[in-house]
Structure 1
Amino acid sequence: MGIFNKMLTNRATVLSNPSKWLSDIFGGSKTSSGVTVNEGNAMNSTAVYAAQKVIFETVASLPLILYQRNGDSKERATNHRLHYLLHDQPNEEMTAFTFRELMQHHLLTWGNAFAEKVINGAGQVIALWPLDPSQTVVERNLRTQELEYYTVMPDGQAFKLKREQVFHIPGLGDGLVGKSPIRMHREAIGLSKATEEFGSRFFGEGATPSGIIEYPTALDDEAYERFRNDVRDAHSGLSKSHKLMILEQGLKYHQVGVPPEDAQFLETRKFQTTEISRIYRVPPHMIGDLEKATFSNIEHQGIEFVVHTIRPWLVRWEQAIKMQLISPSSRKTHFAEFLVEGLLRGDIQSRYEAYAVARQNGWMNADEIRSKENMNPMPDGEGKKYFVNGNMRPVNEPYKGGDGQ
């Protein structure tokens, strides 16, 4: 069966409950707020954009290291080809940051991130190229029971890829394919977009009449339209607000004041910002809502962001890399891991106090501490010694009694 026939199979749908492919053709289905929301326009919402941006930029900026186990310790596998792909450059046109930023954005929007694996004759992955999740379909072959990926490239060419040819990170879903967070929460996002649109119209035209002009005599339709257009051209819009109005021929102006708060505009916008923050589990202060943020709790919220928001995404990445990019024979000895210590660092006083405890109790040496502060090791290997509290002696040097023994 050809790929186009395959992708068009089982496309039957009903208008009362249209399938995703049908609603996409017409721009997506409308929400209760009357705003159309889909994966293509959700980022037009400033709250969605800000929430996603803080997540995918954080994931993209963290160092991603390939390690090799060496007994009870580990060391960076910098000579391994996969380390270069993950840490530096996954393909000839993208940096590691750009690649991970795009893949994480796909996860946050479509619920799936796909990349085609380029494999050499030795079975090694030598490049990763992102695939458009809006043009990629995952199906199980009923004959072989294997997953197959059908994708359409930007030039319009359609391809079928085997499971071993695709690097796939699924979000929350059925265990194999993730669900779109945008579609699951389109009502909340739709209301957010609607309030933004309302705000634009409010300051462009006015949510309610700001005043009434009383004309002393009746006007015919032509005169009324001409007078209304003249007033609108002269005074409508934010740039013309508070402009002096000159009235003549017995005209009277009656002011009608309705501040935006009375239309619950600002309250609704704040609430929707909180809603979007809740969807993506991002502290509101990180997307510009500082109403409940204080200097004392922002640091703790930042740590909670790493632990409860970023860490689950990192685990998805790490486990997908181990399962799909590392060969079965190397999975017991190699693994990928993000470095998050930099995000968890407190203020300088808290860090130095923690280092002092670690140093005095013998589980960190000076070089390890200096490394965390981006400093070079001490000369002559002096920084590699471990000390314990008391007289701060090396841990391998025995204590002497009162008689010197």
Structure 2
Amino acid sequence: MASPDDYRRQANYRFDSADGPMMAVPVPGRPAPSNVTDGRFFGDEDWAAFGGALPAEANTAETAARVAAVFFCVSIIAEAVGSLALEFKDDNGPRNDFPLANVLAYEPNHLQTGAEFWAAMAFCAVLRGEAFAEPTVSFDGLEVWALHPLRTTSEWGERSLTVQYQSETGPRRLLPQELFWFTGIADGGLRPLTPWKQAKGAIDFQLALEVGSRAFFRNDRRPSGIVTTEQKLSDESAKRISEGVQKWKRGGTPVFEQGLKYDAVGSSNTDAQLVELFRQRTLEMARYWRIPRSMIADEGGNAGNNEQDTRSFVNWALRPLTRRIEQAITVRMLPPDLRAQKVRAKFNLDSMLRGDAATQWKNAVLARTASVMSVDELRTGWFGLAPLSVDWSKDARTPLNSNRAADTLTGGESAPQDKVE
């Protein structure tokens, strides 16, 4: 089977080592191929000087994130992760009695809070498929710093990982045991898939819509067309017509002469169903990041549907990512002695699953009725209140028909059947 290099040689291309490895240079006299359908509009090069021109296709993660639907999908997941409380537990309950718990939950480094750090790491992972951070020891103790994605290159082998990082002091080679990281879904190997590259076709379509609609409105909502006449034009007439066309492009109203007729050859935004295309492509983008329809579309639903969509968002967008982060923290950050005690990291998703206020109160009553949670657990974990810190409020098995609350206030003796062993 012929390789791409064989085809280049057959096309009379030569290889010049001075231009770098495997660089094909056309033979002098043979025109180089050009792309005449690069998606640009006439005049875009002028507007690019102002920094406002959108590219024709997404070739980098930064370009992909400039699409509104992509940024919304990625940022809403990242911000949700940053808003979750990071807790540490063992088989007996919460464990926050070691310094690393405070570092990871509240102050990973002296410039970022826990919410800022985990939102940034999640944004990188959701957009690029991987996120890396480096634990360091300073005068203040342990710090965890996220690695800049544009300076980080991961080299995944069959059973190995090496990270090349271009720091301000020079290139560095980092091994897995020196880093904290987590990744997204992979296709049977170690190397994770890159979400924005998986969605590149949909992103390019969205970019084409935005570039096309921008050009339409920049042209004063005038469709493209041709000017024709059956008469022979003199040089002076052609000059006046050219000036009229330029005036028309600037929004003016030219007066054509010698029987010139204008025929539109483009379609309007209404005819092209631009609004419907934008809506359809936005929903298509949401599928890549599993964002429910009611969260990204403009059609509002009833409270029941929105609550169910929120639960779907937590179950299928947030929970898989937080589970990966939890296990990465437990395995790659906790020391062996804590892992031996079965200490594990846990993001608290309960706050996003409780529903509205009425539903929260009903669920609290059900949790207390079923002896699943104590009064103190409900007060502190659900409603942010101070615990009562008495025996009956700490025990989830306390009978509901007990008048121990009144006995505690009056100093009376509880009935024998109501006492907690």
TM-score by length of 1: 0.75
CA deviations 1:221-266 (Å, max 9, x no partner) are 211111112222234xxxxxxxxx6969899998979542311312
What aligned pairs does 1:214-233 form with structure 2 within 5 A after superposition? 220-233=237-250
How far apart are residue 393 of structure 1 and its match?
Answer: 6.7
Match for residue 194 of structure 1 among 199, 208, 218: 208
Match for residue 160 of structure 1 among 173, 180, 184: 173
Q: What residue number does 2:393 align with?
A: 383
1:188 counterpart SS class: helix
> Taking structure 1 as reference, are residues 74 and 347 closer, same or farther at Cα in structure 2, changes over 3 Å only?
same
How far apart are residue 296 of structure 1 and its match?
Answer: 2.7
> Taking structure 1 as reference, are residues 377 and 186 closer, same or farther at Cα in structure 2, changes over 3 Å only?
same
Q: What residue number does 2:32 align with?
A: none
How far apart are residue 80 of structure 1 and its match?
Answer: 1.5
Tell me, in whole angstroms, the C-alpha distance in 2 between the residues paired with 1:190 and 1:140: 27
The CA RMSD measured in Å over matched residues stands at 3.7
1:262 counterpart SS class: coil
Match for residue 164 of structure 2 among 147, 150, 157: 150
> Taking structure 1 as reference, are residues 117 and 251 closer, same or farther at Cα in structure 2, changes over 3 Å only?
same
1:97 is aligned to 2:98: no
Q: In the alignment, is the contact (CA less than 8 A) between 1:135 and 1:151 conserved in 2?
A: yes
> Taking structure 1 as reference, are residues 177 and 156 closer, same or farther at Cα in structure 2, changes over 3 Å only?
farther
Q: In the alignment, is the contact (CA less than 8 A) between 1:360 and 1:392 conserved in 2?
A: no
1:234 counterpart SS class: coil
Q: What residue number does 1:270 align with?
A: 279
Tell me, in whole angstroms, the C-alpha distance in 2 between the residues paired with 1:324 and 1:125: 18
> Taking structure 1 as reference, are residues 318 and 396 closer, same or farther at Cα in structure 2, changes over 3 Å only?
farther
Give, as a single letter, the amino acid of the residue that structure 2 aligns with 1:73: N
Tell me, in whole angstroms, the C-alpha distance in 2 between the residues paired with 1:141 and 1:299: 43
Q: In the alignment, is the contact (CA less than 8 A) between 1:273 and 1:284 conserved in 2?
A: no
Using the aligned pairs only, state the percent identity.
24
1:136 is aligned to 2:152: yes
Unaligned 5+ segments in structure 1 are: 1-10, 16-29, 236-244, 400-405
TM-score by length of 2: 0.73
How far apart are residue 211 of structure 1 and its match?
Answer: 9.0
Match for residue 56 of structure 1 among 61, 78, 88: 78
Aligned length: 354
Unaligned 5+ segments in structure 2 are: 1-19, 25-37, 40-54, 405-413
What aligned pairs does 1:247-258 form with structure 2 within 5 A after superposition? none
Q: What residue number does 1:240 align with?
A: none
Which one is further off, 188-197 or 156-165? 156-165
Q: In the alignment, is the contact (CA less than 8 A) between 1:45 and 1:193 conserved in 2?
A: yes
1:151 counterpart SS class: strand
Q: In the alignment, is the contact (CA less than 8 A) between 1:387 and 1:393 conserved in 2?
A: no
How far apart are residue 205 of structure 1 and its match?
Answer: 1.4
Q: What residue number does 1:368 align with?
A: 377
Q: In the alignment, is the contact (CA less than 8 A) between 2:245 and 2:254 conserved in 1?
A: no
Give, as a single letter, the amino acid of the residue that structure 1 aligns with 2:301: A
Give, as a single letter, the amino acid of the residue that structure 2 aligns with 1:229: Q
